[in-house]
Amino acid sequence: MSIAEDSPYKVLFDRDQKSASGIPAVTFIEDVEAYLKDKELEDVFKMLQDSHGKYKYFEQKLSGNVSILTNRAKQLQETIDVDDTFSMNYELSEGVYSSAEISKPQSIYLWLGANVMLEYSFTEAKEVLRKNKETADRQLRETIQDLGFVKDQITTVDVNISRVYNYDVIQRRKKQQPTSAMAPIEK
């Protein structure tokens, strides 16, 4: 959400407040009349709607990340909890699997990503998995915090939209009142 420095709409975003991942905070519009003084109402509505859409996108993305990180942390914990003896399934050929019981393995091969597999001793592998679990847990906590932050920003944008809309309705009614007051009353 980059706002040009000379834009009259830049006040909507507080540069000092950001989430852990750098998502900017929305400023609550306290005095709608003062805020709209040198701005076009339609432009403000468009800006607020755009902001709302962006925050909803962030919310959706972060919710997906929470799900992914939760599953990753669960899988890592299950892998860490493996004892010296464990069962596993392996593929003999396409669609044909067999199971084997492995006791006291000498080494473990771990996929590290980007088509990289490394061989570790059993204890080293558990340590690598523990570190990965800690990282996944930290990322999950940060993502949940960001999700809460984004939900707060969505609420603030919704309130800003409502306040600007209500202000517009009041102004339109004020403009209509003098003309309706002058209309003759029919008997």
Q: What is the pLDDT of residue 113?
A: 82
DSSP 24-59: EEEPP-S-HHHHHTTS-HHHHHHHHHHHHHHHHHHH
Q: What is the pLDDT of residue 130?
A: 95
* Whether 20 contacts 146, CB under 8 Å: yes
Residue 175: inside a domain: no
- The owner of tokens 């996108």 is 57
Question: Which residues constitute the domain of residue 57?
Answer: 10-129+157-168
Residue 94: inside a domain: yes
Residue 184: inside a domain: no
Three-class DSSP category at 177: helix
Q: Give percent of the chain above pLDDT 70.
A: 84
Residue 97: inside a domain: yes
Q: What is the pLDDT of residue 8?
A: 40
Q: Based on the structure, what is the number of domains in the chain? A: 1
Give the closest residue to 59 by CA, choosing from 90, 93, 21, 28: 21
Residue 177: inside a domain: no
Residue range 141-150, pLDDT digits in tens: 999 999 999 9
Residue range 4-15, pLDDT digits in tens: 444 444 445 544
Residue range 37-76, pLDDT digits in tens: 888 999 999 999 999 999 999 999 999 999 999 999 999 9
CA distance 182 to 187: 15
Residue 22: inside a domain: yes
Three-class DSSP category at 178: helix
